[in-house]
Amino acid sequence: MGINLKGILGAVAPTLASMLPGPLGNMAKEAVTSLLGLRPDASEGEIEKTLATANPDILLKLKELDAEFQAKMKQLDIDLEKMSYEDTANARAREIATKDWTPKALAGLVMGGYIALAVFVLKANVPPANHDFVVGAMRIMEMSVVLVLGYYFGSSAGSAKKDDTIHKTFTK
């Protein structure tokens, strides 16, 4: 299929999707499975399959659920963006404190692998039978590069929020 649960959910319900990997993930998953009529211990594959074939009414209800969660988080004074930032900051602080070379080595491996794969795709004549595999590998490497760049240079979440604020200011 190529698209994971967070990717599918992120297109319709970004607040719920952002909660999935974190400490509030079980709460978000339970809400989504309940809305979809699945059992609470449904696998990500089952949820993905249900979301991929969901009708517009279900998607609308999912958007409404996302808005409710956003309101609840605000009411409870839980800042999801801050939680995500603190998680990244803790990882960076750990790397500095332990002088661990592993994140740098992995980042180098990801960047080198992406460049090597890109050069291969540009220079090689990929047989049609392998096209989907190569495209999938490129997508995985592109997502990995985004994660590496986000880790070392910060995410674009703050930038997106700033752009949204500017847009709202000038469109009133």
Residue 79: DSSP 8-state: -
Average pLDDT of 100-121?
Answer: 90
**Residue with structure tokens 């249900």?**
50
Q: Work out the mean pLDDT of the chain and round it to a whole number.
A: 76
Task: Tell me the Cα Rg of the chain.
Answer: 19
Pick the more confident residue, 154 or 105: 105
Q: Residue 18 above 60 pLDDT?
A: yes
As a whole number of angstroms, the distance between CA 62 and CA 7 comes to: 14
**Residue with structure tokens 């703050």?**
158
What pLDDT digit, counting tens, does each position of 111-169 carry?
A: 999 999 999 989 988 888 998 998 888 999 998 898 888 777 765 555 555 555 555 55
What pLDDT digit, counting tens, does each position of 44-63 carry?
A: 788 888 887 878 888 888 88
Structure tokens at 120: 């291969």
As a whole number of angstroms, the distance between CA 79 and CA 82 comes to: 5
Global confidence as pTM: 0.41
Domain ranges of the chain: 5-75, 94-170
Structure tokens at 123: 């220079």
Q: Give Cα 44 distance to the centre of its chain.
A: 14
